[in-house]
Structure 1
């Protein structure tokens, strides 16, 4: 391909949507992507106004995702989009993603990938059939110090992993805010729009993906206890899960949205034979390394002693705040680099391929379905079935 920006379309993410703006910022940080079209809202007036605010051409501000794919497919190759980003609620992920792949467009999609495991498997199969690329935005795997932790585990720095503890407490659903005009809470607590699980589907999937990403292990069994703490709520807002991994080690996963006073306090600890690693999302530039027989060490983003993969995903000098938007941008940059390599007939590098994909999406949906089944079962250990 010629040296140019990748052309992006967006489904959802109109003027009142939080996550759409985050995607646009992240995609734009490295200057590798330009937004060319969108079906930004199911409300026609909102879709048109959002397109105007984003300076999209009127004839490429579409009123449905079906119209977007139909008309973009008819454009010449040097005009039509290379990929589409889908930032709709969970129930509106599968159909536009499948239609995108069927029409030859690569996909970036919010997590969880679909509403059901069956849908996730169909998307995975379609990605394999088409050879197209799907990126799933598990943001937290984009942080440089998360990548440092993963590399240290891979290098055997802490020895064989024995235990993983990951917790994701939030407090924003401590009241029945979904009935007080909070649209984000309304769809996340509605089984028809969110799926089988509330807190575990929304943030538990992030915790599970992070546990597997850093440890390099796969969850094989679980024992889950999901709870609806706030009376009148339709889906779980709190849960605790015991985990078993494929190397025989164990773990604990906690996801709660009724932890009053908490903001976005995702944290993970990985313990090996020789030491442990600890990372907190709200202090993302710091990674703590603990030892059996010596004082703890503090690793900081932007320093020369870090691994190549951490440096590759670091954007500013040490001591400068680098956080959520940059982590999000790392996922977009790696996806864009992979897409450009494939368009040029080249094999993407390991660094370029370092973003969550359709396989992670299937595991995320399997986590949701298995954790709900485990919670509903009297059986102590429930196999992680896919």
Structure 2
């Protein structure tokens, strides 16, 4: 990875208090890139808990704030104030927090999904375009070296025309009714008031959706969806089976589930072209299986000679030294840092080496969620996923 002429970028985090896995993942990724300084934050709705987190991670108590308005008001007048706001809160809060940050001229990194509605997503898109800030969305799986290798191979024509795509993000963690355990608060991912009933699509289905778009370069044009709930009493859907039609005429299927009993993380993608296929599995992220039509299959390894420049750009260690989940976030943060340093002029950066999910990907993700919901309510009728991104 290039590290020349890098300056430190000052960060304020919203969410991610002690006990938040994703908050620590983001902090670890920023540390791994060695170009971000976390200097302020709002780590919990409970200010006492927020102060506790701030002290634990070395934040000046005077820069641990009670709300977004206070943080923006005080940080934007400091010569050493935050430049980037990182949002790792439940879904329904993404829009107001991101909008306030953009309105103050601050760059934004936000967890997915972008917003809880397409209207809000489009508002953020227009606000981002008008302000020229950098807006990064953490679909982190596109930060893996071998995912970027897969995207490069598709674009180079190694598969020929893509015909079929099979993607799944099928976990087993929700197979038990954990939200009904006495004395344990209902997890926010099981509360439809906070996340919407389609959370299985919004939370993990959008990762598979983004991988399809990122690797193939195609958009999903239509969906036919069936959503279901398999744990008695659960108020959100915990399984989604979705048929896809893509822009080049290819077909696909996406399975997102929290009740795939026995599965671990369960994210994988297979792409079948006219001349070859690619298989990538998140539980073996260092390898990419390439299956030509007329030759024996090959297993490509992260770090081996001859990989694309896009794959090489995300490698921190040599062949045989494994990298993982936090490294994929760090790859995105490296790209975010480059874009912030260049004030968002992505045209000046090399293709693929600088690709990272943006507010545009967020809009497509929310469009996908809403289209899936409409299709399910129409008994699986084919439903368009088109959206206009007029400025």
TM-score range, shorter chain: over 0.9
**Alignment partner of 1:44 is 2:47:** yes
- Residue 66 of structure 2: aligned partner: 63
Q: Does 1:193 align with 2:191?
A: no
Q: Structure 1: how far apart are the matches of 2:369 and 2:378?
A: 14
In the alignment, structure 1 residue 114 sits paired with structure 2 residue 115: yes
Structure 2 Cα separation of the partners of residues 295 and 348 of structure 1? 36
CA shift, 1:45, in A, is 1.0
When structure 1 is superposed on structure 2, of 231-240 and 273-282 the one drifting more is: 231-240
The corresponding residue for 2:229 is 228
Q: Could you tell me which residue of structure 1 aligns to residue 356 of structure 2?
A: 355
CA distance in 1 between counterparts of 2:344 and 2:209 reads: 32
Q: What is the match of residue 338 of structure 1?
A: 339
CA distance in 2, matches of 1:108, 1:373: 29
Q: Deviations over 1:176-198 (max 9, x none)?
A: 21232666x62112121112412
CA distance in 2, matches of 1:266, 1:3: 33
State whether residues 367 and 386 of structure 2, in contact with CA within 8 Å, keep that contact through their aligned partners in structure 1.
yes
Cα deviation digits, residues 251-288 of structure 1 (max 9, x gap): 01001100111110100000100010000000000000
Q: Distance in 2 between matches of 1:352 and 1:379?
A: 38
Corresponding position of 2:76? 73
| CA–CA distance in structure 2, aligned partners of residues 239 and 40 of structure 1 | 32
Shift of 1:74: 1.8
Query: Shift of residue 175 of structure 1?
Result: 1.8
* Other-structure match for 1:11: 14
Q: Which residue of 1 aligns with 2:299?
A: 298
Deviation at residue 346 of structure 1 after TM alignment: 9.3
Measured against aligned partners, the alpha-carbon deviations of 1:290-333 in whole angstroms (never above 9, x if no partner) come to: 12111101100001111111000111011111111111100000
Q: How big is each residue's C-alpha offset from its partner over 1:75-128, in whole Å with a ceiling of 9 and x where there is no partner?
A: 12xx01110100000011111100000001000000001111111111001001
> 1: distance between equivalents of 2:138 and 2:345?
24
Matches within 5 A, 1:24-39: 24-39=27-42
- The answer (yes or no) to whether the contact 2:160–2:275 under 8 Å persists in 1 is yes
- Gaps of at least 5 residues in structure 1 are none
- With 334-343 and 99-108 compared, the bigger mean Cα shift is at 334-343
Query: Within 2, Cα distance between the matches of 1:380 and 1:131?
Result: 39
- Deviation, structure 1 residue 24: 0.4
Distance (whole Å) between structure 1 residues aligned to residue 220 and residue 8 of structure 2: 38
Say if 2:166 is the partner of 1:155. Answer: no
8 Å CA contact 2:271–2:279 kept in 1: the answer is yes
Deviations 1:317-372, CA, capped at 9 Å, x for gaps: 11111111111100000010111122899934435641100000001101111101
Q: Distance in 1 between matches of 2:295 and 2:269?
A: 21
The gaps in structure 2 that reach 5 residues or longer are none
- Contact (CA 8 Å) 1:179, 1:186: kept in 2 or not? no
- Choose which of 54, 58, 82 in structure 1 pairs with 2:57: 54
**Number of the residue aligned with 1:384:** 385
Q: Distance in 2 between matches of 1:240 and 1:379?
A: 10
- Once the two structures are TM-superposed, the CA of residue 377 in structure 1 deviates from its matched residue by 0.3
Aligned to 2:309: 308
Is contact 2:309-2:353 (8 Å) kept?
no
CA distance in 2, matches of 1:343, 1:233: 42
Q: Which residue of 1 aligns with 2:168?
A: 167
Return the offset for 1:164: 0.4
Alignment length (residue pairs)? 382
C-alpha separation between the residues in 2 aligned to 1:103 and 1:349? 29
Report if the CA contact (8 A) 1:196-1:372 is conserved. no
